[in-house]
Amino acid sequence: MSDIVLELKNVNRVFGQGDTKVQALDNVTFSVKRGEFLLIVGSSGSGKSTLLNMIGLLDKPSSGQVFIDGTNTTKLSDNKISAFRNSKLGFIFQFSNLLADLTVLENVMLPRNIQRTDQNAQKQAIELLRSVGLENQMHKRANKVSGGQAQRAAIARGLINHPAIVLADEPTGNLDSVTAETVIQLMKSMAKKLNQTFVIVTHDRHQFGEVDRIITIKDGRAFEGEDVPPKMELTV
Ligand SMILES: Nc1ncnc2c1ncn2[C@@H]1O[C@H](COP(=O)(O)OP(=O)(O)O)[C@@H](O)[C@H]1O
Ligand SMILES: [Mg+2]
């Protein structure tokens, strides 16, 4: 198993043409190691979601390549992409996107069942629900748990297939700051415990505290580190 789980090589994404042409990603090249906890930051419209869509195989580069766990995904046929995505990637969204009529446990098992039917799925889902602190909520319907609990379940769901990368687009964007804090700490501790790579888009960099790595997107270009130093805290 290689130490590199993600590699982008000269990725460009252009939308529209002529006067309306937008270079949403401009020659983006970087790689990410197994276990790395990476934040993608940048102002609105800078290209963060476009980048995450490339890594999540929800959109294709206009040119360049995306390697996931050693596979050149740009060479995968359309009908192979969804199975590959399901096995190699876990997703956490701003809204937990749990299916309301299923229980928390059933939701966590969903990506696993798409993959294959196996007896271990339930055991592993219960184990994950324990580690995210939902052992007492797992048989509740998804629409009966709080926003923070739903997001914890979404984290467990994102991990159930042992993906190469967990991707999250503004995973705390819909939570109050106290709940956001617990969800962030949970993602960080799961990353450590499982040596799990996370790639997280956020506008709320400071709430994450110390992380392994930050990439700033500006006008579709990727920069290592933080572009803008943190604002000085105002005190009275
Ligand atoms: N499907 C699309 N069609 C046309 N332009 C798009 C599309 N998606 C994104 N863009 C443009 O690409 C740029 C980057 O967008 P996006 O990746 O959504 O930014 P961010 O997530 O950082 O706010 C913006 O100028 C946006 O308007
Ligand atoms: Mg966005």
Position 229 in a domain: no
Which CATH number does the domain housing residue 165 bear?
A: 3.40.50.300
**42 ligand 1 Cβ < 6 A:** yes
Report the nearest-CA residue for atom 1 of ligand 1. Answer: 15
Give every strand in the sheet of 37-41, ordered side by side. 89-92, 165-169, 197-201, 37-41, 213-218, 221-224
**205 ligand 1 Cβ < 6 A:** no
**124 ligand 1 Cβ < 6 A:** no
pLDDT at 234 over 70: no
Nearest 5 degrees, angle CA 224-CA 225-CA 227? 105
For 210, the domain range is 4-224
Strands 71-72 and 63-68: antiparallel
Position 231 in a domain: no
State which of 13, 14, 15 you would mutate to test the pocket of ligand 1, scoring each by most atoms of that ligand within 8 A of its C-beta: 15
**47 ligand 1 Cβ < 6 A:** yes
**49 ligand 1 Cβ < 6 A:** yes
Position 192 in a domain: yes
Task: Tell me how crowded residue 84 is: count the other CB atoms within 10 A of its CB.
Answer: 16
pLDDT tens digits for range 59-97? 999 999 999 999 999 999 988 999 999 999 999 988 888
Position 14 in a domain: yes
Across 94-110, average pLDDT: 92
Position 197 in a domain: yes
Across 105-123, average pLDDT: 81
CA 1–ligand 2 middle distance (angstroms): 32
Position 230 in a domain: no
Q: Which atom number of ligand 1 is nearest to the Cα of residue 46? A: 22
Confirm if 39 and 216 have CB atoms less than 8 A apart. no
**45 ligand 1 Cβ < 6 A:** yes
CA 51–ligand 1 middle distance (angstroms): 10
Position 233 in a domain: no
pTM score: 0.92
Position 232 in a domain: no
**What is the tally of helices (H) and strands (E) in the chain?**
6, 10
**151 ligand 1 Cβ < 6 A:** no
pLDDT at position 94: 87
- For residue 173, the ligand closest to its alpha carbon is 2
Tally of structural domains, the chain? 1
State which of 22, 26, 49, 223 you would mutate to test the pocket of ligand 1, scoring each by most atoms of that ligand within 8 A of its C-beta: 22
pLDDT tens digits for range 132-166? 999 999 999 999 999 999 999 999 999 999 999 99
Query: What 3-state class would DSSP assign to 205?
Result: helix
**219 ligand 1 Cβ < 6 A:** no
